[in-house]
Chain A
Amino acid sequence: MAVHALRQLSLDTVIQECHAESRQERQRESGYCFELFRRAMEEGDQAAWAAIAVQYRQLLLNWIYGYRAVTFTPDEAEATAHEALERFWRTLSARAPDITSHFAHVGALLKYLNQCVIATILDQQRRAQRRARLVERLQADAIALQPIASDTDALERLCRAEQVAQVRQWVQTHVTDPHEQLVLRLSFEQALTPAQIAQQYPQQFADAQAVRRLKERILKRARRGLSAIHDESATDMAVDAEQPR
């Protein structure tokens, strides 16, 4: 059907015809599903979005269950499908809201949606790896940090992508001194102790206490600069944290 004719149709008709079109082979496709996506993305039609969520829910779930490396519970699969649709909308509205000039047909859009599912699963894996690394670090670190390792809610919150992005943004803006940057990188990325840092970089740091001073300074600034995140996490962590004797 010609594009202008498709655009004249009511949303109900487009939804109904897209539903029928989805049951046919790709060769018989006549643009109804693409029109549904176009209305959602280019016209911001919420009803079209809702229809897409219904129309493609099962396909999304089948893709998710098809990911062999991870076993999903029904709730996790639903949440992943929802997150993938959100990612589809978020990334396209930021970078390619005029989908007609970036995608030739609905197959191309579905391929992108498929990649959104993979990206969502990979994001979950990054979060899990981050959490595992954090727990490992906390358990290996001083006794005072250990109680945090068992607080799964607080850990989960700390590892969320948006919170991580916020902390990184703060670091980029507020840790500009080269010595501080070095301490930050060696302490938090490479897990070196102040004594190890002082030993490896004697030109920069006279002793371990000099490293501790810089590190403590960074932490105090981080605490103030990231107070919203910090307060939320600190409340969780303070509950069961014990001071070393």
Chain B
Amino acid sequence: MILRGWLSRRRRRWPGGARKVQVLRRTLQLLVLALLFAIPTLSLYDNLRNQRDEVGIQSRWDTRLVHRLVADLEEPKALTQAVRGSVWTFKAGELVISDPLAVVDFVAASRVPWDRFLITALLPVLLSLLLGRVFCGWLCPADLLFELAGKARNWAGIKTDVTFSRGTKTAVLAAGVVAAVILGNQVFAEIYPPRIVGAELYLWITFGTFGAGAWFFLALIAFEIFVSRRFWCRYVCPGGALYALLGRYRLLRLEVDPVACTECRLCNVSCELGLDPMGGRFGQDCNNCGLCVRACGHDALNWRLGLPPSGGVDRLGHPESGVAAATPGEPAP
């Protein structure tokens, strides 16, 4: 009976525009997670092959699989050395892309105004200036796991939801920068979930052990499930705060069609970050995940590419004036 219900729900209809966007988003997130598994395995295989360690290659199922795939190639190194790193610092050939938070951390801890390393964050910074917190919703591997934790939370029927101030994460960012300057040691790397997920997968695949970060991440997951929904992304994440600040005057924004909107609040309920897209009060925290667009049954909510609100924005990136009055509904209590 349960199975029949599941099947009928699946068969409902072929995904429309907003659902296709979700398919694309999940595909990207799963691809990132798959890369985080694949890159350490490929590196391990590459090193074992350099040492001509046939026994080492054959003694593990993953390197054995890689060996079967690349053994016949002319240039196996073109594949096994193609990509390195994780979402913290990614290296494809000569191209190095790193998280802007890594650059902030580096500049603060080593107290240098300029280094070649700063260039590596250029691409993410530009994308965030245009699209906002898009890395949070579309590429972050921890976001996927936190959303799964949210599913577990719903499944277990846990209602406890402690809320904090949204400005907390900006304070965490500022405090971390100050701490890095004083200590002369990078601090964000130890508490940034996307880096922790990548690093722990690397440690597990390469050495068969986990580090301290795994405990931290497990504690975060437990806190997400039992105490506060998506609290890390909403209130604490310094990387999220940095992306939000970068995307404060972004061009990609949600827009409510006041004629089509029936004020059913389905979009507000669906928002993972607990924002208020119906009232137009999503501010700089919106990660453009598109769950609210999918939830809307009247096509009243859509993305719009254009200039930021003319009246300026307040501390959390909400429009100061004009726009809020024109949109229906009150801000969520």
Report whether chain A binds chain B. Answer: no
